[in-house]
Amino acid sequence: MTLRPDTRLPRPLRPFRHREYRLLVTSMAASLFASGLWLVAGVYQVIALGGGPAELSLVATATAVGLLVSALGGGVAADRLPKRAVLLGVEGVRVAAAAAAGLLAATGVMQLWHLAVIAFVLGAAEAFFFPAYSAILPTLLPADELLAANGVEGTLRPVAQQALGPALAGVLVGAFAPSSALLLAGGIYAIAAVTLVAMRRVAVAPTAGRTSVLGDLAEGFRYLFRTGWLFATLAFATLYVLVLLGPLEVLLPFAVRDQTGGGASSFALVLGAFGIGGAVGSLVVSSWRLPRRYLTVMNLLWGAGAAPLALIGLTTHLWVMAVAAFVVGFTGSAAMVIWGTLLQRRVPPHLLGRVSSLDFFVSLALMPVSMAVAGPAGELLGIPMTFVLAGLVPVFLAVAAILGWRLPADEIAHPLDAPADPAEADALATR
């Protein structure tokens, strides 16, 4: 029996009609949960080795470097290789890395350089995961269910990776040792891999005409530079990350301390509000149809949605900071769900992995710069003024992107709010 798009299921649940999608999202949920375990266990393993902030920074930097150097290669792999095989390879690497870390820690032979190398490997694996995941979704679902599917991913991430995984890791570390959480992470990564094995084979796009890895990369860059809506949004996103991320990652704990008199629990409250806002934003936008003015709405959600950061710089009340963080998390995640759906629907399938990796690479490229600049900017301008600018500058950047590249005309010329072809939905519903 097949199901048509007019089913009475709530929109966020409609992708779950498809067997292969259910297996994919189960695998992703397990993988995110294991990554949450790793995040906390890795921190306390550094501490158990006698390390402090400098040593923890070394491990975190190793992860970021692994991500950055592998990002573009991950996109090429997603376009050239079977996507399920890429995802299986990623989970296999994660199982081996987490298990190795757990065994080294449990036997007492772990050294800091071991942990840094494993963190680099996990970062590199992560860079291969997201292009393949983004590219496989359109092969499993009809077009009008992609928004809901991306909303599910946006909801699962903060819940599994930022809440449930770290919470269990904290319990395990407190009751036993970091090695127990590391070994459990390896076991849960294995569950993610087994779930992928249960998926049927997914059709692979033909690779005729491709010459080399460098040629594939060049083709992706050519598509980026000649596609106005894509270039405009990525250019805006690059500056958005530069302006926004540093204050959030570096200056927020000092704003909480200096302006509200709060400590670690107060900082955790504001961070928690940001994460909850992201989960709610993803869930809410996945309950709608894709907006008719999708480019305008998406960029304004990012740009105008950052404006509440200015309140963080101006207020002395913790609850105001928490509300502002919730709104920023809500709008940012809502825009990300639209963005992921837009890539899957407007980028040619044979380029989707590379374009997704370019998006990933651009998002990472200025992240270290933003963090490096945030501290000096906070000292030079003051933390309140830095947050005011971080809230207001993205508004102008978004308007410049929308008007400068004539995005309203582009979205009118390329409507994406039409319902999916019933025949397509019927064919996919049997998978």
Residue 51: half-sphere exposure toward Cβ, Cα within 13 Å: 22
- pLDDT in the model for residue 293: 93
Residue 106 CA to residue 268 CA, distance in Å, equals: 30
Percent of the chain with pLDDT over 90: 47
Q: Sketch the domain layout of the chain as residue ranges.
A: 11-202, 216-418
Say yes or no to pLDDT of 343 above 70. Answer: yes
Residue 49 CA to residue 45 CA, distance in Å, equals: 6
Question: 180 and 172 in contact (C-beta within 8 Å)?
Answer: yes
Say yes or no to pLDDT of 373 above 50. Answer: yes
Judge if 11-202 and 216-418 fold alike in CATH terms.
yes
The topology (CATH level 3) of 11-202 is: Growth Hormone; Chain: A; (1.20.1250)
- pLDDT in the model for residue 53: 65
Amino acid at 358: L
pLDDT one-digit tens code per residue, 246-256: 888 778 888 88
* Angle at which helices 19-48 and 112-140 cross, to 10°: 170
Compute the C-alpha angle 419/204/231, nearest 5°. 60
Average of per-residue pLDDT across 148-174: 85
| Residue whose token pair is 């081996």 | 96
Burial (CB count within 10 angstroms: exposed 0-12, middle 13-18, buried 19+), residue 81? middle
The topology (CATH level 3) of 216-418 is: Growth Hormone; Chain: A; (1.20.1250)
Say yes or no to pLDDT of 203 above 60. Answer: no
- Closest of 167, 51, 34, 165 to residue 102, by C-alpha: 34
Say yes or no to pLDDT of 423 above 90. Answer: no
- Closest of 295, 313, 298, 321 to residue 382, by C-alpha: 313
Range 44-51, long-range pairs (CB < 8 A, 24+ positions) = 44/173, 44/178, 44/181, 45/101, 45/105, 45/110, 45/115, 45/178, 45/179, 45/182, 46/112, 46/115, 48/105, 48/177, 48/178, 49/110, 49/111, 49/112, 49/115, 51/112
How much is the CA Rg of the chain, to the nearest whole Å?
A: 22
Residue 263 CA to residue 318 CA, distance in Å, equals: 11
pLDDT one-digit tens code per residue, 168-194: 888 888 888 899 999 999 999 999 999
Residue 273 CA to residue 131 CA, distance in Å, equals: 28
pLDDT one-digit tens code per residue, 39-59: 888 888 988 998 876 787 788
Question: 253 and 310 in contact (C-beta within 8 Å)?
Answer: no
